[in-house]
Structure 1
Amino acid sequence: MASIYKRGNGWTVSVSIPYEGIYKKKTKSGFKTKTEANNWAIKTEGAKIEGEIDFKKQQTFLSFAKDWIETYKPDVSRSTKSGYDFTLKAISDYFGDVKMDQITRHSAQQFLNQYGESHSIASSRKVKGHLGAIMKDAVADGVIRLNPFERTTPHGTQSKDSSLKFIEYFDFKRFIAYLKENHEPTHDAMLIAALSGARIGEIMALTKDDIEDGKLNINKSYEERLDISKEPKTPSSVRIVDVPTWLTDYLKSITEDEGDRILKRKQSTINRELQRVLKLLDINKNISFHGIRHSHASMLISQGIAVEYISERLGHKDISITQNTYLHLLQVKRKEEISHTIKLLFSL
């Protein structure tokens, strides 16, 4: 039988359970009402009868998460590893030394609520995705019975205005013109991104074999942390991107080795030079290298290029990713189309 008694301002439950020839007690405190305590007692008594209670020492959530990342995510890219490190810090800050079996769906949702108060919704979704995957494997391994992050909802602030993430069309033309006239490896990396929309890892993985007349064969991504080129994350990232023939003629001329990467500069060096070039051209946009990719897509949208082709060109998994990423620009374009349609109808 369970023992239920008042302790301080709350109620405590203690259940005696036979374990390896002796009786051990499963105790839980902090119930606000006797009814809550009784419900837990009934549930625990049922688990005792079914033999589902285990007295093995539980790992902390933080410890399990660290082990999981080291075991299942050892070869991820630098940016992905940074994301997992961010998630570990969030676990440490909020959960501390809380054990795996002490985390409930309620406490998981409370964490997501608090996290969302100071982070963007995109960041909250990513963290929830990490924690959900970790807990799903914990269930599969028998460490816990239920995934507490199932049926929880991430919250957060809206990300920065999309206009801050890309260079406007006329400034972008000046940016490209400068890079064309001032060739060197860091500038060449930016130029490829500006004309193809490729990611920095895809650009740094390019070899002479990947360059044809007016085409870049994107089929791998360079991981700087591991100093290797590997397959992109998704099949859709493997693609042929059309670019001006003068670009591919130039790229083929700067390397002799067929299988060697044509650009060899640290990404941090390229990003520093990007900031210098933007300042030199008096382009007041604080963008990262990835912002050049956004600028490429934004330029195409502003010039009326079909979003289906832009999605394919960027290597997005499906068109919805492109539409969600560039929603603001597409809405502006839609208003222009509405205005054009009305003018057309009035002229009939």
Structure 2
Amino acid sequence: MASIYKRGKTFTVSVSVPYQGGYKKKTKSGFKTKTEANQWAIKTEGSKIDVDIDFKPSQLLSSYISDWIDTYKTDVSRSTHVGYEMTLKAVSEYFENTSLDQVTRHDAQKFLNEYGLSHSLATSQKVKGHLSGILKDAVADGIIKVNPFERAKPHGTNAKDNSLKFLEYADFKRFIEYLKENHEPTHDIMLVASLSGARLGEVLALTPNDIGNRTINISKSYEERLNIVKEPKTPSSIRTVDVPGWLTDYLLTLSKDNNERLFDRQQSSVNRELQRILTRLDIPKRITFHGLRHSHASMLISQGVAVEYISERLGHKDISITQKTYLHLLQVKRNKEISHTITLLNSL
């Protein structure tokens, strides 16, 4: 059965076609009307009986990547899917009408060089990883002989200063006080994240059953794009986090249905409200929602809480992830400990 949907001002259609003993999704975009898209779908599906549709090396690179995403990335998280769509957008703009068999290693490297001029190294590495993985499948399927991105080297600009990713202690305290004084769903979502270090999807998945006596049990995550509640990011993300008693008492008043999610809000609306509050409180740093998680951890580090316990609260796989993420803050703490140690030794 064909799937027809509107992308921008044109229609896109996808159908499943026979390919090497199995089935593969064939997608075509650019139809001006839904009727045109449907006619192509009928003709293409009809070919399932007559002859297999061949995925040729002359297929546009951007078209192949679009097909691949629609086929193999149907059940990934929203953020992962957005990442692949951004890669597709970059490829479409740079390679335009370039076919699979026309892309050389030289072309791949030039693309990554240019992309790196306006993006961080981490982002460029992710794009290179996407393209290398996608075209590895093209090689495996016999569509092309060599993966042009396999040995290409990503480049990028320096990442933003880590201090921009979290709120300083005084601003974080004012932010939390504002949320406590102005309860409403989006504010409550931010309040839970600020006091627990939970990710947005984890907060949106919470039900009354997850709220204990001064604890929040995090065992699932809400995926907005698919509108499903699923297992969290990693097994280590399943954890019980200690929080103030007044918070759990308040959360238990929000719903009488133990299986109903406490918060039903779109992620975009929560992020917009976060920016409004930062402006309202005259807080100069502009952080994302994930920055509340960083602010939570940074606050605990600055107040001398053990990094092992912080790692458990955040649900990191191991303590090394926490140490790497907050290296700059831990170094500041270490310098203070060095100074304190020297002072102590000098007093002997």
1:238 matched residue in structure 2: 238
Question: By how many angstroms is 1:141 displaced?
Answer: 1.9
- Give distance in 2, aligned partners of 1:91 and 1:132: 13
Q: How far did 1:318 drift? A: 3.5
Letter in 2 for 1:141: D
Report deviation, 1:64: 1.1
Matched, 1:299 2:287: no
Counterpart of 1:103 in structure 2 is 103
Which stretches of structure 1, 4 residues or longer, exceed 4 Å deviation after superposition? 54-57
Query: Which whole-Å CA distance do the structure 1 matches of 2:110 and 2:198 have between them?
Result: 39
**Which shifted more, 100-109 or 207-216?**
100-109
2-side partners of 1:220 and 1:87: how far apart? 28
Alignment of 1:1-348 (within 5 A): 56-348=56-348
Give the structure-1-normalised TM-score.
0.79
Q: Which amino acid aligns with 1:172?
A: F
User: Number of matched residues?
Assistant: 295
Deviation of 1:57 after TM superposition, in Å, equals 4.3
1:270 is matched by which residue type in structure 2?
Answer: V
CA distance in 2, matches of 1:145, 1:139: 5
TM-superposed deviation, 1:261 = 0.2
Q: Which moved more, 1:128-137 or 1:116-125?
A: 128-137
Conservation of the 8 A alpha-carbon contact between 2:57 and 2:101: no
2:222 maps to a residue whose letter is Y
Equivalent position of 1:17 in the other structure: none
Contact residue 57 and residue 100 of structure 2 kept, 8 A: no
Query: Against the structure 1 CA distance between its residues 317 and 67, is the aligned structure 2 distance closer, same or farther, given a 3 Å change threshold?
Result: farther
CA 1:242–1:142 in structure 2 vs 1: closer, same or farther (change >3 Å)?
farther
Say whether the 8 Å CA contact 2:61–2:98 is kept in structure 1.
Answer: yes
Residue 6 of structure 1 corresponds to which residue in structure 2? none
CA offset digits 1:232-272 (Å, max 9, x no partner): 23222222222122211211121110111001122222222
Structure 1 residues 55 and 298: alpha-carbon distance in aligned structure 2, compared to 1, 3 A threshold: closer
Counterpart residue identity of residue 272, structure 1 = R
CA distance in 2, matches of 1:324, 1:121: 17
- Distance in 1 (alpha carbons) for counterparts of 2:183 and 2:243: 17
> Please, which moves more after superposition, 262-271 or 325-334?
325-334
TM-score for both structures, normalised by structure 2:
0.79
2:209 counterpart SS class: helix
Deviations 1:279-338 (CA, angstroms, capped at 9, x unpaired): 232222211211111111111121122333323322233434333332322222222222
**Secondary structure of 2:252's partner?**
helix
Distance 1:148 1:312 in 2: 41
User: Aligned in 2, Cα 1:69/1:343: closer, same or farther, shift over 3 Å?
Assistant: same
**SS in structure 2 at match of 1:253:** coil
* Cα distance in 2 for residues equivalent to 1:147 and 1:233: 30
Q: Deviations over 1:211-232 (max 9, x none)?
A: 1112212121112222221122
Opposite residue 252 of structure 1, the aligned amino acid is L
What is the CA–CA distance in structure 1 between the aligned matches of 2:282 and 2:190, rounded to whole Å? 17
Q: Give the C-alpha shift of residue 147 in structure 1.
A: 2.8
Q: CA deviation at 1:117?
A: 1.0
Using the TM superposition, name which of 126-135 and 265-274 deviates more. 265-274
The one-letter amino acid paired with 2:274 is L
| C-alpha distance after superposition, 1:146-175 (max 9, x if no partner) | 333223322111121122221110121121
Deviation at 1:56, TM superposition (A): 5.0
Q: In structure 2, what is the Cα distance between the partners aligned to 1:252 and 1:271? A: 24
Higher radius of gyration, 1 or 2:
1
Paired-residue identity, %: 70
Q: Distance in 2 between matches of 1:150 and 1:165?
A: 32
- Cα offset for 1:65? 0.7
Change (3 A) 1:318 1:111: farther
Q: Would the alpha carbon gap of residues 106 and 308 (structure 1) be closer, same or farther in structure 2, given more than 3 Å must change?
A: farther
| Unaligned residue ranges in structure 2 (runs of 5+) | 1-53
Q: The residue matched to 1:222 in structure 2 has which SS?
A: strand
Cα RMSD, aligned residues only: 2.1
How far, CA to CA, are the matches of 1:324 and 1:152 in structure 2? Answer: 27
Displacement after TM superposition at 1:107 (Å): 2.6
Aligned partner of 1:36 in structure 2 is none
Letter in 1 for 2:344: L
CA distance in 1, matches of 2:67, 2:56: 18
Residues 56/292 of structure 1: CA separation in 2 closer, same or farther (3 Å cut) = closer
Where 1:175 maps in the other structure, the secondary structure is helix
Alignment partners' CA distance in 2, 1:75 and 1:130: 16
Bigger Cα displacement from structure 2, 269-278 vs 252-261: 269-278
Aligned equivalents of 1:147 and 1:345: distance in 2?
Answer: 60
